[in-house]
Amino acid sequence: MSEEALQRSALDQAALVRAGELPSRELVEASLEAIDRLDGELNAFVTLAPERALAEADAIGPGDDRALAGVPIAVKDILALTEGIRTTFGTAAVGDWVPPFDSAVVRRLRSAGAIVVGKTNTPEMGILPVTEPHRFGPTRNPWDTARTPGGSSGGSAAAVAAGMVSLGHGNDGGGSLRIPAACCGLVGHKPSRGRVSTAPGSGDVIGLVSDGVLTRTVADTALALDILSGYEPGDPFLAPAPAMPFARAAERDPRSLRVGIVTEAPLDFPLDLEHAEAVHEAARLLQSLGHEVERVGFPVEDPATFLANFLRVWVAGVAGSIKTLGTVVGGELDRGRLEPLTRQMVEAGEATSAVDYVASVAYLRVASRGMLRFWTDHDVLVTPTLAQPPLEIGALEPAEGEEPMAMLGKSSGFVPFPPPINVTGQPAISLPLHQSGAGLPVGVHLVGPPGDDELLISLAGQLERARPWSERRPALTAAALSQARLSRPERDARPASPARPRTGGPRRL
């Protein structure tokens, strides 16, 4: 019963615990057993807290009416601080720092009854759209372990896709929820700027980063958004309150919408034909549901200048984060323990003048006004989430003689669509509406009007009802391994990855 329940939605799991049909302890034990079976292959978790999780599960009994009562979840190992559980930001420079308190998002999830079983892998400082930190090694995609699960919330995505947990926390400063959702066949929603608090942090200056979750269903995503939404004292941004709970919005069809679809990548980046076809297929589905659809261009007037200014702000933000993080963990970080890419970004950020930084922020804000004009006569923009299938492990590593920051340029061609939406602050969601001929997930990216997560969640729910996806699972899952026990000869015969090997399992607290 517990193993079968582990494959169900977080909503269903909480209902089973609430009804007394499944003790939370059994559900948490099933999650920990799945991690034990799968994580040697996937490397999704970097820190586990089994004793603490089981003790919390024992304190939850039938009748607990909290939304996530007794549900095991994963928390990304960056930005979201976890009281009593190691937080590393994916870097050796932080050491084994253990925060003395929870961030607001973790506090809200725990208050709703969720049980944190561990922290998930992320690229150092969340920089890249792949999850291959030097400290912990690469996380692998359950659909094809030679490929990335995306980043920077790749550990959480792999854990949810493989069935270790039903809900994984993540955050998104340039696509870091939507990219792994597309790679792993999940729902990945980036909330509107100001919808979810960054407390106790101040948030970045321009408000690029939003916290959210990775799930298999729109209903779970909407439920989590209801839990996570809300103002905390000192928040620099505040999204408008929805007219109804997001969980209810997910159950209601939206009105007829004006939808623009994009099937060409900006800056002439190559767009995989199956990713373009996923958008065409979504367009046909939207039309069948009564929406008005037309083909449009991606609404960035000068993509090259936009990208240059975005990267300047991003690079300076990494430098600022390294400085701030040192004060948080109790001393200046040892830069010698940073990865070459991060060190080079810090150096470039420190060399950027305040005038140039402010000018880039101003440029992006003006460019946002231009982009947002699109929503005066459209309701939703639909693009591919990614321009290419999930990359092979190690694909972004610099070639011999290349500077580490060449990885940023390579990244841009892989994920040209998500980052501008962090600049505008709009809600966006990646849905696993399509699969490639090779059986890999293909995400479709929906962008909603400023502040209107409610409309976007309603549309996502309608699409899921019309074209369900939650039963599509990768071969490498907890359920499959309980029968096959890692006996697939093709995986045993696969040559070793050129990327750095994993250096041991997740640390247990």
> What are the tens digits of pLDDT across the range 303-355?
999 999 999 999 999 999 999 999 999 888 999 999 999 999 999 999 999 99
pLDDT, position 7 = 95
Cβ 210 vs Cβ 427: under 8 Å: no
Nearest Cα to Cα of residue 76 among 242, 237, 211: 211
pLDDT, position 2 = 86
Cα 81 to Cα 258, 279, 328: the distances in Å are: 40, 37, 11
pLDDT, position 473 = 95
pLDDT, position 480 = 60
Q: Note down the domain range covering 81.
A: 2-490
Half-sphere exposure of 308 (CA within 13 A, CB side): 6
Other C-beta atoms closer than 10 Å to the C-beta of 500 total 16
More confident residue, 221 or 483: 221
Q: Is 495 within a domain?
A: no
Task: List pLDDT tens digits, range 114-135.
Answer: 999 999 999 999 999 999 999 9
| Statement: residue 492 has pLDDT above 50 | no
Mean pLDDT, residues 495-504 taken together: 45
Compute φ and ψ for 251, nearest 5 degrees: -90, -10
Separation of alpha carbons 335 and 322, rounded Å: 9
Q: What is the mean pLDDT of the chain?
A: 94
| Statement: residue 44 has pLDDT above 70 | yes
Q: pLDDT > 90: what percent of the chain?
A: 91
Under the banding of pLDDT at 50, 70 and 90, the label for residue 1 is confident
Tokens of 121: 């892998």
Under the banding of pLDDT at 50, 70 and 90, the label for residue 84 is very high
176 part of the active site: yes
Other C-beta atoms closer than 10 Å to the C-beta of 365 total 12
| Statement: residue 394 has pLDDT above 70 | yes
Under the banding of pLDDT at 50, 70 and 90, the label for residue 107 is very high
Mean pLDDT, residues 55-76 taken together: 98
Q: Is 498 within a domain?
A: no
Mean pLDDT, residues 88-100 taken together: 97
Catalytic residue among 9, 24, 103, 152: 152
Separation of alpha carbons 35 and 50, rounded Å: 11
| Statement: residue 499 has pLDDT above 70 | no
152 part of the active site: yes
pLDDT, position 487 = 41
Cβ 10 vs Cβ 213: under 8 Å: no
Tokens of 400: 């011999």
Mean pLDDT, residues 380-404 taken together: 97
The CATH number linked to 86 is 3.90.1300.10
Tokens of 466: 């019309």
Cβ 314 vs Cβ 342: under 8 Å: no
Task: List pLDDT tens digits, range 242-293.
Answer: 999 999 999 999 999 999 999 999 999 999 999 999 999 999 999 999 999 9
| Statement: residue 190 has pLDDT above 90 | yes
Task: List pLDDT tens digits, range 133-185.
Answer: 999 999 999 999 999 999 999 999 999 999 999 999 999 999 999 999 999 99
| Statement: residue 403 has pLDDT above 70 | yes
Mean pLDDT, residues 363-391 taken together: 98
Catalytic residue among 103, 166, 176, 192: 176
Q: Is 387 within a domain?
A: yes
Nearest Cα to Cα of residue 225 among 242, 212, 235: 212
| Statement: residue 490 has pLDDT above 80 | no
**Total-model pTM:** 0.95
Q: Is 382 within a domain?
A: yes
Half-sphere exposure of 390 (CA within 13 A, CB side): 35
Nearest Cα to Cα of residue 281 among 397, 384, 423, 152: 384
pLDDT, position 488 = 36
Q: How many domains does the chain have?
A: 1
| Statement: residue 496 has pLDDT above 60 | no
pLDDT, position 495 = 36
Task: List pLDDT tens digits, range 9-24.
Answer: 999 999 999 999 999 9
Query: Going by C-beta distance under 8 Å and a sequence separation of 6 or more, which residues neighbour residue 123?
Result: 90, 130, 131, 132, 133, 151, 152, 154
Query: Going by C-beta distance under 8 Å and a sequence separation of 6 or more, which residues neighbour residue 81?
Result: 87, 99, 101, 102, 103, 106, 200
Cβ 278 vs Cβ 260: under 8 Å: no
pLDDT, position 427 = 98
| Statement: residue 203 has pLDDT above 90 | no
pLDDT, position 504 = 63
Q: Is 508 within a domain?
A: no
| Statement: residue 502 has pLDDT above 80 | no
Task: List pLDDT tens digits, range 427-437.
Answer: 999 999 999 99
Catalytic residue among 76, 119, 190, 410: 76
pLDDT, position 10 = 98
Tokens of 484: 């096959």
Separation of alpha carbons 244 and 455, rounded Å: 11
Q: Is 509 within a domain?
A: no
Under the banding of pLDDT at 50, 70 and 90, the label for residue 491 is very low
